[in-house]
Structure 1
Amino acid sequence: MRRLGLLAVIVVLAGLAGSGRALAATEVRMTGDARVYGDFFANRNFTGWNNPYWTSETPTWRPAGVRTEERFQIWERFRLRTDFRANEAVQFRLGVKVEDVWGHGTLTAANPTASLEVYEAYLQFKWPDSAVQVTAGLQPCGFTQSSFFNGSPIFDAKATSLVVTAPLVPDRLTLVLAYTRTIASARTYEPNLQEVYRNQEGYALILPVTLEGFTAKPFFDFSVGGKGAYYITEGGWAEGLISAGLLAQSPAGWKDNFINVLWAGLPLELTALDPFRFYADVLWGHVGLNEYQKNQRRGWFVDAAAEYVGFGWFVPQAFGWWSTGEDSSMRNGSERLPVYFPGHYDDKESTQAWNAGNSFLFDGGQELGKGSNMTVSPAGNWGFGVSINKVKFLDSLEQRLTAVYVRGNNAPRAIRDANAILGSNPLFVMGRDLTVNEWIVGLNFDSKYKLYENLALVVETGWAHPGAFQTSVWGSRLAHKAEDAWKAALGFTYTF
């Protein structure tokens, strides 16, 4: 977080550029967006109570059902992106945002806590006399995914990266190399004289291929995590990378100083049969290749979708996915796809970008982002859905209706045994991680009406109904509390 002094620096720099003084050769361009909306959300997590959440790197956590929800909130967010462009080949972007609920922090009436958050800060340039582009800094990052599904279920976030993009065959084949450091917990010195690796970093190779009516974007990533990295207090994604055996089986904890990780994927899109279009992704990951078997986590994820774009005033869509789930033993590790962000709660948004039809069940894609969905995990579950998208009865009005069915692929015993040893824990969450006997259905109906070209009135609604959660897995207190959840959000979005 940054003080308002940061905004003053931006204004001064822009003023100098515009006045023709020290930055006379620099073109400054500002873009941004704002949204203000009210959100009513009943029975978050199907209970109206909090899910379990981490409290320290030890690790420690608080169980589910110790806090109750606030059903109505008003959110406001403003983002400003400033590009400092020296010429067509060299520029720097700085993006800052203010975001909070009315009556809290920055938006408090008396004695507000004024602050800005930097969410983008990167240098971008082309290597002299070439088409090779280099981008370095805090920037949008993520593994490739077919465009239908909004984003990758493994990793899709802002991160500090060095990305080199080189066209091998113009408009046909591109080489993308990326180095990403997501955590550097120790910085310059260790907190003591022990040599414990405390970083998390990845090396990715992407080869986008574009042909007439067909695209493929295969990727491969090798990452290294340190057993001393602060995954919880700094990263916030611990439960997406580890197995229950790491904590619940002896010897507890990591064996090695370095934890090796592999990911690979093949996103595909076919438009040669237009107006029929098809999409698919095959993803695989393995955490802890050099670890005890109980500490390893590896799994598969497959999705597919089809749509017809020939009607003009609406687009019918169908989609489905399948992912490996936990077997009945913790001793052989986890069988779920490892992901950086498994879906979060409370005041966080879009931590796991995968979604289809803007479903109310999944965390990603909603325009009114916070308090927007049920954070159901696509990993470890399977399901299908249909969507009537881009419905246009009026020129300025666009609507969407989506229905989704989700069922678990996880053995009840795996979750039951972990909960028996650990208690209510963030590794397995009722309503997010489903057993083979549990299911959820969800509906959402969304509308966007353009008042002006850059100002829109947005309404997002959602409803979710849980199949009977297993008392033997989650305990009677949580399972008997489960009931339908629904939300209604109304607000304005502005872009400039």
Structure 2
Amino acid sequence: MKKLMTLALAAAMMLGAATGASAIDFKAKGQWIMSFDYGMHGNFGESKAKNNSGFGKHEDEFEARQRVRLQLDAVASEALSGTVFFEMGDQIWGQDSTGGALGADGRVVELKRAYIDWMVPQTDLKVRMGIQGLALPSFTTNASQIFDDDVAAVSLNYQFDENVGLTAFWARPYNDNYGYKYNSTTGDNKNYMDNMDMFAVLLPLTFDGVKVTPWVMYAAMGPGMFNDGGTKLNGNAWDRAASGMISGAFGYDNVDTYGNSFWAGVTGEVTYWDTIRIAWDVNYGSAAYENEKMNREGWLASLLLEYKLDWGTPGLYGWYSTGDDSNPRNGSERMPVVSANGNNGFSNFAFNGNPYIAREGVLGTNMTGTWGIGARLKDVSFLEDLKHTLRVNFMGGTNAPKMAKYMRTGENGYASIDKRGVRNVYHTDFYDPMYLTTEDHALEVGLTNTYKMYDNFTVMLDVAYLALWLDDSRSTWGKNPMKGYNGGDGVYDAWNVNLSFVYSF
């Protein structure tokens, strides 16, 4: 009996030792958002209906939606961990396709991120592999206007000392999606030479009161990345890749071509003085193809000045981006964009900028082909746990007015785009943001109010209005440039009120 007890005790001790050696610490994070929107004329009448008073192409004036995000970290040690990040939503209340209808049985669970973190033994080199959130640096806006999204990648990070660091990554946004060459024997489109691979190096420099990050990025694109197995642009690639990477002047044929893209930038901020912050972003990019009409090349620069006070932070900012010249056959002079899916700090409504889920991006997701100036009062607080941010933006386009005429009349290669049955002559699926010329202007006013009811519970009320003036002369857009919109005289507007309840842990 004693022998059996001794053996049992020894086995228990061995099991306990083994369990302790391989113990994993599980950490959970999450966020629940309940969001309610009411607004009109979003995207300025995407619907072709004569009386389009709703917010967009398939939306009512009032809609309720929700989103849940859950992240689980399995931490073995400081040198090894794994992360999986799920998202459920956005679910529109009452909509069957998103799982919001009666019964709530929609398949809406999405894998947002899944990666492992590890360190090379005996070094400070950190490695992350898998689907992860990656972004180029930005100090003026909250997100890069070139690339900020989830993507499959391998990223490396090394800190030489307290002043100098290094980040590098290889990412593959697209591969094996559309098929390329048709095989007459098997009847299949082979998924080869349809990939896009990006390589980037960032050099964060940190000194007393100064941060500067120079960076470069290169992308190689196969000839099958955009097409559908022949020579025409694939419909799925149109919105995601082509809208930011190639010129719209060539139509949508003859895209069977290799491409090379290059970007470079210098971003930074000065916070040497306790109350003053100066930030800047200077970005350049080019995309070159065998078909030269597809080429894009341009730059975008922005500047932010802030002065911190006890009751809030006033700020002034501005940006300028190159736009298309009057020759549609030499490609586009707008900077190429991979995916600007992050939070734009200048605007909550004209561009993507809402911190939670709400109607946004009325003009588009990025600021290429536009200029703007703005003023804001940030985080103004007179009561505990209640903050307000007021912003006013005036902006316009940097594209040549003659290009609008080409798009309207179908001259110089634009007829093929118009034949796609687009809803209006300037907001085609090919342009993000909306195509604005030097004769077009917009005014945005927004007020964001946040109340921290509990440590993990926030209520936000966001009110936004945008007015857009389009040149309706014959030399630019002509009369009634927005088909299906019930406005007129070249003046259009959109507004929205959002109330969100957010629980985060």
Tell me the TM-score normalized by structure 2: 0.82
Match in the other structure for 1:295: 294
Q: 1:388·1:402 contact (CA, 8 Å) conserved in 2?
A: yes
The answer to whether residue 254 in structure 2 is matched with residue 253 in structure 1 is yes
The answer to whether residue 133 in structure 2 is matched with residue 178 in structure 1 is no
Q: 2:127·2:155 contact (CA, 8 Å) conserved in 1?
A: yes
Match in the other structure for 1:346: none
Match in the other structure for 1:167: 159
Match in the other structure for 2:61: 71
**Deviation (angstroms), 1:491:** 1.9
Q: 2:343·2:355 contact (CA, 8 Å) conserved in 1?
A: no
- 1:365-393: per-residue Cα shift (whole Å, max 9, x none)? x1232423413441111010000001011
Match in the other structure for 1:125: 118
| 1:20-35 mapped onto 2 (5 Å cutoff) | 25-35=23-33
Could you list the runs of 5+ residues in structure 1 that have no partner in the other structure? 1-19, 52-64, 342-350
Report the CA distance shift for 1:127/1:187 in structure 2 as closer, same or farther (over 3 A).
Answer: farther
The answer to whether residue 385 in structure 2 is matched with residue 385 in structure 1 is no
Q: Secondary structure at the match of 1:277?
A: strand
Match in the other structure for 2:93: 102
Q: Secondary structure at the match of 2:445?
A: strand
Q: Secondary structure at the match of 2:77?
A: coil
Q: Secondary structure at the match of 1:247?
A: coil
Match in the other structure for 2:316: 318
| Partner Cα separation in structure 2 for residue 80 and residue 427 of structure 1 | 34
| Partner Cα separation in structure 2 for residue 43 and residue 418 of structure 1 | 23
Match in the other structure for 2:396: 407
Residue of 132, 137, 154 corresponding to 1:139: 132
Report the CA distance shift for 1:378/1:167 in structure 2 as closer, same or farther (over 3 A).
Answer: same
**Deviation (angstroms), 1:197:** 1.2
**Deviation (angstroms), 1:333:** 0.5
**AA of the residue aligned to 2:302:** D
- 1:291-312: per-residue Cα shift (whole Å, max 9, x none)? 3432210001110000011x12
* Identical columns (%): 25
**Larger gyration radius, structure 1 or structure 2:** 2
Tell me the TM-score normalized by structure 1: 0.84
Could you list the runs of 5+ residues in structure 2 that have no partner in the other structure? 1-17, 50-54, 184-188, 227-233, 423-427
| Partner Cα separation in structure 2 for residue 116 and residue 339 of structure 1 | 28
Match in the other structure for 1:13: none
**Deviation (angstroms), 1:115:** 3.1
Q: Secondary structure at the match of 1:236?
A: helix
**Deviation (angstroms), 1:463:** 0.4
Match in the other structure for 2:329: 331
| Partner Cα separation in structure 1 for residue 312 and residue 61 of structure 2 | 33
Report the CA distance shift for 1:478/1:417 in structure 2 as closer, same or farther (over 3 A).
Answer: closer
Match in the other structure for 1:305: 304
Q: 2:469·2:492 contact (CA, 8 Å) conserved in 1?
A: no
| Partner Cα separation in structure 2 for residue 162 and residue 70 of structure 1 | 41
| 1:245-284 mapped onto 2 (5 Å cutoff) | 245-247=249-251, 252-254=253-255, 256=257, 258-284=258-284
Single out whichever of 170-179 and 68-77 deviates more from structure 2: 68-77
| Partner Cα separation in structure 2 for residue 221 and residue 324 of structure 1 | 20
The answer to whether residue 450 in structure 2 is matched with residue 448 in structure 1 is yes
**Deviation (angstroms), 1:361:** 1.3
The two structures, once aligned, show a CA RMSD in angstroms of 2.6
Q: 2:125·2:157 contact (CA, 8 Å) conserved in 1?
A: yes
| Partner Cα separation in structure 2 for residue 384 and residue 27 of structure 1 | 48
The answer to whether residue 450 in structure 2 is matched with residue 433 in structure 1 is no
**AA of the residue aligned to 2:285:** G
**AA of the residue aligned to 1:139:** Q
Match in the other structure for 1:113: 106
Aligned residues: 445
**Deviation (angstroms), 1:142:** 1.3
| 1:350-365 mapped onto 2 (5 Å cutoff) | 351-353=340-342, 355-364=344-353
**AA of the residue aligned to 1:179:** W
Residue of 438, 459, 462 corresponding to 2:461: 459
Single out whichever of 371-380 and 279-288 deviates more from structure 2: 371-380
Q: 1:49·1:69 contact (CA, 8 Å) conserved in 2?
A: no
